[in-house]
Amino acid sequence: MHEIKCPHCGQTFTIDEAGYADIVQQVRNAEFQQELHERLERADEDQKKALELAEAKAASELQKAASSKDAEIQELKAKLEAGSMQQKLAVTEALATIEKERETLAIELAQAKQEKQSAVELAEAKALAELQKAAAAKDSEIQELKAKLDSIDTAKKLELAEALATVEKERDELKSGLEKVELEKQLAEKSLKDKYETQIKDREEQIERLRDLKAKLSTKMVGETLEQHCEIEFNKIRATAFPRAYFEKDNDARTGSKGDYIFRDSDEAGTEIVSIMFEMKNENDTTATKHRNEDFLKELDKDRTEKGCEYAVLVSLLEPENEYYNTGIVDISHRYPKMYVIRPQFFIQMITLLRNAALNSLKYKTELALVKAQNIDITNFENELDAFKSAFGKNYDLASRRFQTAIDEIDKSIDHLQKTRDALLGTNRNLRLANDKAQDVTIKKLTKGNPTMAQKFAELEPGKSSEDE
């Protein structure tokens, strides 16, 4: 038997071994569940802190990597834009050379004319001044001789006449020399004028031929279409300049429209270097309605996007008098991305320029591909982190449900203990009442109303007294 003291009322009561063992087991289970609950809470807090730390560290590393890659991408973009600008400037300078030569020649001609005119005028003025001076001197001398001739005798007159003839002859020679100088000046001016006029005429004819080439097909295109011309020109150099290139007509009209030709070139590893969507427009192909280059740009940009090409080029003979398109390669990327308008004579040069620019940027494309792969790795890491979070959440939810089940069981045990306590308290109350009743029992009360029992107890009293004595 075991005595148990109630912690609430302080009363002590006795229970048997089985009841005591059951209560001890219940108390141990409650302590175990309490300790388990506390350990689960600590483990949950530790797990949350570790997860938050891992998330913060991963976010920091991702932010650092993203910032680094953004800086590299911006640097690569700046290099690509710088390279593109240099190429545009080189093309513009190359196309403007002939105009600069013409302007230089015109300036040189004007300067030469001015210098020649100044030199001739100076020489003429100098020669004229000398001749006039000499003539004046001779005239003065002749007048003096005439005066002397009048005052001397006949012999002297003859001598003076001879001297006069000599002076007049020298004067005539001087006049003849002056006329010769004047003639030489005129001949030199005419020769210089003819020379520069011939050069100017040649330059004008050359410029006119260039303008003709910008506005019309070459002589080899007589009887051919613009598309045939471009295809023939490309096939001439395909084997040597573009051995791995693809240049064929665009026959895919599934999207409702198509371009004329698609050019694609790749390296030895099969990596695409550059791709171009070409559209050819010839004024001769039109009817009375005259089209403009602007009419075809939007559709060309759509074809480039649908066929996955990097660049779009309009090879056009439209608007032959428009100097904007006659200057050479016209970049209209401000309207549509990576789009150009050219005349047929720049067809091969355009492909070469874009291909060479793409070769220079291939290394950057490779680096960008590596960056994208790293970004994919980061994305995979984030996905794996999300998967871990999801799995951890499921495990946590399961543990939480089981924990709640344990708490419910503990509550049930507590309720059972409470009922047992109430039952024990009720038993104690009954035992106390029974004890009070037992203590209150006397022979007088037991024999009250029972004469027979009273007599029996009365008879036993003297004997009890004797025995006591």
Tens digits of residue pLDDT in 126-153: 766 666 676 677 667 667 766 665 665 5
What's the average model confidence in pLDDT over 74-88?
67
Domain assignments of the chain as residue spans, ordered by start: 138-223, 241-362
H or E stretch covering 432: helix 347-440
Q: What is the pTM of this model?
A: 0.36
pLDDT at site 48:
73
Q: 179: pLDDT confidence band, cut at 50, 70 and 90? A: confident
E strands, 259-418, in order: 261-266, 272-281, 311-316, 330-331, 339-342
Q: pLDDT > 70: what percent of the chain?
A: 67
pLDDT of residue 278: 95
- What's CA 456's distance to the chain center, in Å? 123
DSSP annotation of 290? P
The pLDDT tens digits of the residues spanning 439-453 come to: 776 666 666 777 777
Amino acid identity for residue 63 in this structure: Q
| Bridge partner residues of 274 (DSSP) | 265
Q: Residue 287: left (phi > 0), alpha (psi -120 to 50), or beta?
A: beta
User: What pLDDT sits at residue 378?
Assistant: 72
SS3 assignment, position 14: strand
Average pLDDT over the chain, rounded to an integer: 75
Nearest to 312 by CA among 350, 348, 346, 282: 350
Q: What is the pLDDT of residues 342-387, one digit of tens each?
A: 999 999 999 999 998 888 877 776 777 777 777 776 777 777 777 8
Mean pLDDT over 8-30 rounds to: 67
Which residues, at least 6 apart from 40, have a Cβ–Cβ distance to it below 8 Å?
A: 399, 403
The residues, ordered by sequence, that sit 6+ positions from 156 with a Cβ below 8 Å of its Cβ are 148, 149
Average pLDDT over residues 197-209: 76
